[in-house]
Amino acid sequence: MKSEKMYVYFSTVIIFVAIVASTRPKLPKLFLIGDSISIQYGPYLQQYLDGIAELERKENDGSAEKNLDVPTGANGGDSRMVLAYLRKKIANRDFKPDYLLLNCGLHDIKRDINGSGTQVDSAAYRQNLLAIHNLLAMHDIQLIWMRTTMVIDSVHNQRSNAFKRYAADLDAFNRIADEVCAAKKIPVIDLYSLSIALGREEVIDHVHYQVPARMAQAGYIAGFLQNYLTKR
Q: Is residue 6 part of a domain?
A: no
In a domain, 19, yes or no: no
**In a domain? residue 103:** yes
Whether 107 is in a domain gets the answer: yes
**Domain count of the chain?**
1
Does the residue 184 lie in any domain?
yes
Single pTM value for the model? 0.88
**Residue at 4 is within a domain:** no
Question: Mapping DSSP to helix (H, G, I), strand (E, B) and coil, where does residue 210 land?
Answer: coil
Whichever domain contains 42, its CATH number is: 3.40.50.1110
pLDDT tens profile 67-108? 999 999 999 999 999 999 999 999 999 999 999 999 999 999
Look at residue 2 and give its three-state secondary structure. helix
Q: What is the pLDDT of residues 186-223, one digit of tens each?
A: 999 999 999 999 999 999 999 999 999 999 999 999 99
- The 10 Å Cβ neighbour count of residue 130 is 14
Q: Is residue 33 part of a domain?
A: yes
Given a cut of 50, whether residue 113 has pLDDT beyond it is yes
Q: Is residue 129 part of a domain?
A: yes
What pLDDT does residue 99 have? Answer: 98
Structural domain of 65: 28-230
Q: 64: buried, middle or exposed (CB in 10 Å: 19+, 13-18, 0-12)?
A: buried
Which of 44-48, 69-73, 141-145, 187-191 shows the lowest mean pLDDT across its residues?
69-73
Residue 7 has a pLDDT of 46
